[in-house]
C-alpha cells in the first residue's frame, strides 16, 4: 500500500512499517492524526499526538480502553517537560538527568491547559523520554510529545515484538513500526513525585535502589501504596490461558502435563520437567527473565493450553517488577 493510500486510510489493514522509510511514514501518519504502534525500549506503545484529543481518542478506541485510564506522555527531550507539568520539583530534573532517555516515568502535577483525555481527568500527568532509537527519532522529527499506552487490547499482555502487536491490534490500527524485540520487555517504572514522599506506583526496569541513590532519600514501594488509579488494576497483563504460580514440587506432581505450559527458571525445575511438552526455561537473572517473560507467555498463549504453570520466582527486591506482573497475570 502506498503512503498516500495509507494516509487516506483506504485499506483497513494494518501495515508493518520498516527501516528509515517506514519511520518517515509513521511520522506522517502521526502528523495526520492517526495512531501508530511504535517500539520503545520497554514494550511497544500505541502512539498519537498528545496535544490532539481526536487522535488520542483513537488510541482508546483501538485498545477498547476505558476513557478514565490515563496515558503516559512521551517527550522528545527533558526541555519539553515544562510544557506538560507544573510546579516541577528539582528532583524531577535530577532523575531526568540520570535516567532519561530511559524506562522511568515521572508522575507530576499537570499543566491546566493539557487535554484531559490524556490524563483521564486527573490533575497529574505521567511523562518520560523513551530511549528506543526509532521512537526517539519519531519524537524528534515531530518535535512534539506522543501519548502512548502499551499497544495491546485492554487487560491483555503488553507486546514486545511487532508480530505480537499484530496479534492483538491487526485491523484496528493503520500501522506498526517494526523495531525488533524490546530491550527490557517490561513496562517502565512509574514514580510518583506529587505525593508527600516519592513512591513507586509500578515496579519496572529502574529499581528503587537506583532512584534512592539519586534522591538520597527513601522511596516507597508498590506493595505499600494504595493510590487507586484506573489502569493500575489487579487483573492486568493477562494471557488468555489461565495462569498459576506454584512451587517446583506442585509443578511436577500435576497430572495433566500434556495440556499444560510451564515457565521455569531454576535448574531443578528444568531437570524435573525434562520431557514435558511445553516448557520455557527463562533466565535466573531477573532483568533477562523480565525481557523473556511476555514473549514466552505470548508463545504459550498461542497453543490453546488449559493452564500455564509458572514457577514462583525468588522474592528478593530485584525480582519485584517480574513478581508484580506475574501476580497481576494470575489474579
Ligand atoms: O513502558 C511503558 O510505560 C509503556 C511504554 C509504551 O512507554 N507504556 C505503558 O503505558 O505501559 P500503559 O498505559 O500501559 O500504562 C500506563 C500506566 C497505567 O497503569 C496508568 O494508570 C499509569 O501509567 N498512569 C498514567 N498516567 C497516570 C496518572 N496521571 N496518575 C496515575 N497513574 C497514571
Ligand atoms: Mg498497558
53 shares its domain with 195: yes
Establish if 260 belongs to a structural domain: yes
Question: What distance in Å separates the CA atoms of residue 128 and residue 145, rounded to the nearest whole number?
Answer: 10
Q: Is the CB of 42 under 6 A from ligand 1?
A: yes
Q: In 3-state terms, what secondary structure has residue 17?
A: strand
Mean pLDDT of the chain: 92
Cell of 74: 512521551
Establish if 227 belongs to a structural domain: no
Instruction: Summarize the chain as % helix, strand, coil (round to 5).
Output: 35, 20, 45
- Structural domain boundaries, residue 54: 3-215
CA angle 151, 24, 166 (to 5 degrees): 25
Residue 231 or 4, more confident: 4
- Report the predicted TM-score, pTM, of the whole model to 2 decimal places: 0.94
Distance, CA 72 to ligand 1 centroid (Å)? 5
Q: What is the pLDDT of residue 234?
A: 62
Index of the ligand 1 atom closest to the CA of residue 204: 1
- Range with lowest mean pLDDT among 1-10, 13-22, 272-281: 1-10
List beta partners, residue 254. none
Alpha-carbon distances, residue 90 vs 57, 95, 104, 142, 215 (angstroms): 33, 9, 16, 27, 10
DSSP result, 22-38 = HHHHHHHHHHTT--EEE
Which pLDDT tens digit goes with each residue over 243-263? 999 999 998 887 656 789 999
* Res. 8 pLDDT band, cuts 50 70 90: low
Establish if 234 belongs to a structural domain: no
Distance, CA 301 to ligand 1 centroid (Å)? 24
Establish if 96 belongs to a structural domain: yes
Establish if 232 belongs to a structural domain: no
Question: What distance in Å separates the CA atoms of residue 71 and residue 267, rounded to the nearest whole number?
Answer: 40
Across 303-321, average pLDDT? 95
Q: What is the DSSP letter of 145?
A: -
Which of 155, 229, 230, 238 is the best mutation target for the ligand 1 pocket, counting ligand atoms within 8 Å of the beta carbon and taking the most? Answer: 229
Task: Look at residue 175 and tell me whether its pLDDT is greater than 80.
Answer: yes
Q: Which residues contact 91 (CB under 8 A, 6 or more apart)?
A: 193, 198, 214, 215
Distance, CA 149 to ligand 1 centroid (Å)? 6
Burial class (CB in 10 A: 0-12, 13-18, 19+), 176: buried
208 shares its domain with 264: no
Q: Is the CB of 190 under 6 A from ligand 1?
A: yes
Which of 136, 190, 200 is the best mutation target for the ligand 1 pocket, counting ligand atoms within 8 Å of the beta carbon and taking the most? Answer: 190
94 shares its domain with 181: yes
Across 324-331, average pLDDT? 90
Q: What is the pLDDT of residue 11?
A: 65
Q: How many CB atoms lie within 10 A of CB 18?
A: 15
Alpha-carbon distances, residue 134 vs 17, 76, 247, 277 (angstroms): 12, 12, 40, 37
114 shares its domain with 160: yes
Across 216-241, average pLDDT? 72
Q: What is the pLDDT of residue 229?
A: 59
Index of the ligand 1 atom closest to the CA of residue 105: 3
Q: What number of CA atoms fall less than 13 Å from residue 49's CA on the CB side?
A: 18
End-to-end Cα distance, the chain: 42
Which pLDDT tens digit goes with each residue over 95-138? 999 999 999 999 999 999 999 999 999 999 999 999 999 999 99
Cell of 162: 511487532
Q: What is the pLDDT of residue 151?
A: 98
Q: Which residues contact 213 (CB under 8 A, 6 or more apart)?
A: none
Look up the CATH number of the domain holding residue 207: 3.90.870.10
269 shares its domain with 211: no
Cell of 200: 513507586
Index of the ligand 1 atom closest to the CA of residue 69: 21
Q: In 3-state terms, what secondary structure has residue 176?
A: strand
What is the count of structural domains for the chain? 2
Amino acid at each position: 500500500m502506498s503512503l498516500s493510500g495509507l494516509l487516506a486510510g483506504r485499506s483497513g489493514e494494518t501495515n508493518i512499517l520498516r527501516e528509515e522509510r517506514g519511520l518517515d511514514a509513521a511520522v506522517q501518519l502521526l502528523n495526520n492524526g492517526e495512531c501508530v504502534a511504535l517500539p520503545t525500549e520497554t514494550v511497544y506503545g500505541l502512539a498519537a499526538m498528545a496535544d490532539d484529543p481526536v487522535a488520542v481518542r483513537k488510541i482508546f478506541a483501538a485498545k477498547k480502553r476505558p476513557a478514565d485510564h490515563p496515558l503516559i506522555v512521551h517527550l522528545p527531550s527533558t526541555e519539553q517537560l515544562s510544557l506538560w507539568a507544573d510546579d516541577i520539583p528539582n528532583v524531577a530534573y535530577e532523575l531526568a538527568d540520570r535516567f532519561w532517555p530511559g524506562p522511568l516515568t515521572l508522575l507530576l502535577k499537570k499543566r491546566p491547559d493539557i487535554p484531559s483525555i490524556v490524563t483521564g481527568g486527573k490533575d497529574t500527568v505521567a511523562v518520560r523520554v523513551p530511549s528506543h532509537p526509532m521512537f526517539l527519532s519519531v519524537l524528534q522529527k515531530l518535535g512534539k510529545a506522543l501519548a502512548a499506552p502499551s499497544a495491546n487490547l485492554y487487560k491483555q499482555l503488553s507486546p514486545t515484538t511487532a508480530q505480537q502487536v499484530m496479534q492483538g491490534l491487526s485491523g484496528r490500527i493503520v500501522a506498526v513500526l517494526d523495531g525488533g524485540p524490546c530491550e527490557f520487555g517490561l513496562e517502565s517504572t512509574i514514580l510518583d513525585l506529587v505525593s508527600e514522599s516519592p513512591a513507586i506506583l509500578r515496579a519496572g526496569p529502574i529499581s528503587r535502589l537506583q532512584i534512592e541513590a539519586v534522591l538520597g532519600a527513601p522511596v516507597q514501594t508498590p506493595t505499600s501504596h494504595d493510590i487507586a488509579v484506573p489502569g493500575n488494576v489487579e487483573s492486568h497483563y493477562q494471557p488468555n490461558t489461565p495462569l498459576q504460580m506454584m512451587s517446583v514440587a506442585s509443578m511436577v506432581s500435576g497430572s495433566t502435563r500434556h495440556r499444560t505450559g510451564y515457565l521455569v527458571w531454576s535448574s531443578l525445575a528444568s531437570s524435573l520437567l525434562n520431557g514435558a511438552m511445553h516448557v520455557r526455561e527463562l533466565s535466573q537473572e531477573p532483568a533477562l527473565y523480565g525481557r523473556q517473560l511476555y514473549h514466552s507467555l505470548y508463545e504459550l498463549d498461542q497453543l490453546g493450553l488449559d493452564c500455564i504453570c509458572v514457577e514462583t520466582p525468588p522474592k528478593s527486591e530485584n525480582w519485584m517488577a517480574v513478581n508484580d506482573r506475574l501476580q497481576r497475570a494470575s489474579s
